[in-house]
């Protein structure tokens, strides 16, 4: 292939005008509408309705939905920069936006029929939250050992079983649910269904009481002879594993963006405090040891950010990005936890109490090594792709 025919990838740190406008809008919304309510929502373990409504009003829930379905017609990279900016203020709202965009809407865009797009995308663009239901008690990293079963009965599918750890479970009006229609065929029987609250036999179970990202709901889903119309099969019967794999590969970049946001938020707080706090007659930021620590953290954040952006740009250019997505998710989650931990130490005793922001960033960071593929699974993926 001649050099001049290679796909063009925008410079990693250079944003287009539209990308910069969305970043600025997301940052303004986060600082103005979300920031005053962070601790209230964390304590209550619940997102405020006005903030969820604001996410829709700001267009943050419709970034990649085509304009003909009432969306913004934006890009995957635009979703990434929005998730990063929101997570810099509150990672719980960040993952609320992330799952809706990088998992649910991406799955609809790539796999839904025209009929399903017409029925669901306008709702997802304007007022309906999406959730993605793959995990079960016995299928975490072994994602395709699903126990949820689906049996065809006339023009309906009957689902029986449970899902666990479902982000946006409490708020969602549309769920993408993965079940096995042919267990004897293993992963080739996995099929994706679109389920809505109110469908017979479907209910929301326990809401988890979590360490971090507490305002983001994480719930159990219960299916007891749940009736799902045949027209609500997403993609093809037996192709659910492919939908899950491809969607999660993109979703990991979104989690990387969330982790970069966490790291930046914790670092911002630590840097500001280091310039204000005085000990021995001068600010603690004037001590060389503190300067070196802040310099190291800033460098690691920038590297994590570049890795996330690289994976996102490769995905948009239609180039292979699986290894880069795994690297970005792995490294950014390491950096987020490390930066948040160091930020607590910069604050000293104040860093350990909820009055200051860094202890929440530290709690929020931990999930990055667990969901949408654990650190061990990312390392396994990277190792397989080294050649």
Catalytic residue check, 224: no
Number of residues assigned to the chain? 387
> What is the C-alpha to C-alpha distance for residues 222 and 298, in angstroms, rounded to an integer?
44
The answer to whether the beta carbons of residues 23 and 15 sit under 8 Å apart is yes
> What is the C-alpha to C-alpha distance for residues 150 and 230, in angstroms, rounded to an integer?
11
Q: Could you tell me which residues come within 8 angstroms of residue 337 by beta carbon, excluding any fewer than 6 positions away? A: 362, 365, 366, 368, 369
Q: Could you tell me which residues come within 8 angstroms of residue 69 by beta carbon, excluding any fewer than 6 positions away? A: 117, 118, 121, 122, 125
- Which token pair is 224? 């007891």
Instruction: Provide the strand spans (E) within 55-173.
Output: 130-133, 149-153, 156-167
The answer to whether the beta carbons of residues 295 and 275 sit under 8 Å apart is no
Residues identified as active-site = 372
């Amino acid at each position: 292939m001649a050099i001049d025919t290679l796909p063009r990838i925008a410079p990693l740190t250079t944003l287009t005008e539209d990308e910069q406008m969305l970043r600025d809008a997301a940052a303004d919304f986060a600082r103005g509408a979300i920031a005053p309510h962070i601790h209230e929502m964390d304590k209550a373990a619940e997102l405020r309705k006005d903030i969820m409504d604001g996410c829709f009003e700001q267009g943050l829930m419709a970034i990649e939905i085509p304009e003909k379905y009432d969306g913004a017609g934006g890009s995957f990279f635009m979703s990434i920069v929005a998730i990063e900016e929101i997570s810099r203020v509150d990672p719980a709202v960040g993952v609320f936006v992330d799952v809706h965009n990088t998992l649910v809407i991406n799955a609809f865009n790539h796999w839904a029929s025209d009929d399903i797009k017409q029925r669901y995308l306008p709702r997802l663009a304007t007022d309906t939250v999406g959730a993605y239901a793959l995990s079960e008690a016995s299928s975490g990293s072994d994602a395709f050992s699903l126990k949820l079963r689906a049996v065809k009965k006339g023009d309906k599918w009957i689902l029986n079983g449970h899902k666990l750890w479902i982000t946006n479970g409490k708020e969602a009006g549309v769920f993408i649910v993965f079940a096995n229609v042919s267990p004897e065929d293993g992963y080739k029987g996995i099929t994706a269904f679109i389920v809505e609250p109110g469908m017979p036999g479907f209910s929301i179970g326990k809401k988890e009481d979590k360490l971090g990202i507490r305002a983001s709901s994480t719930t159990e889903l219960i299916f007891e002879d749940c009736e799902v119309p045949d027209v609500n099969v997403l993609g093809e019967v037996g192709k659910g594993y492919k939908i899950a794999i491809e969607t999660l590969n993109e979703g990991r970049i979104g989690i990387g963006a969330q982790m970069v946001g966490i790291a930046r938020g914790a670092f911002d707080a630590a840097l500001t405090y280091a310039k204000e706090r005085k000990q021995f007659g001068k600010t603690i930021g004037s001590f060389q040891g503190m300067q070196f620590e802040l310099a190291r953290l800033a460098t690691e954040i920038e590297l994590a950010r570049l890795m996330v952006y690289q994976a996102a740009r490769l995905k948009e250019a239609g180039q292979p990005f699986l290894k880069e997505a795994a690297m970005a998710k792995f490294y950014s989650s390491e950096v987020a936890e490390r930066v948040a931990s160091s930020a607590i130490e910069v604050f000293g005793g104040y860093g350990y109490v909820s009055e200051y922001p860094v202890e929440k960033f530290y709690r929020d960071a931990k999930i990055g090594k667990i969901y949408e593929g654990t650190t061990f699974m990312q390392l396994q993926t990277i190792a397989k792709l080294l050649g």
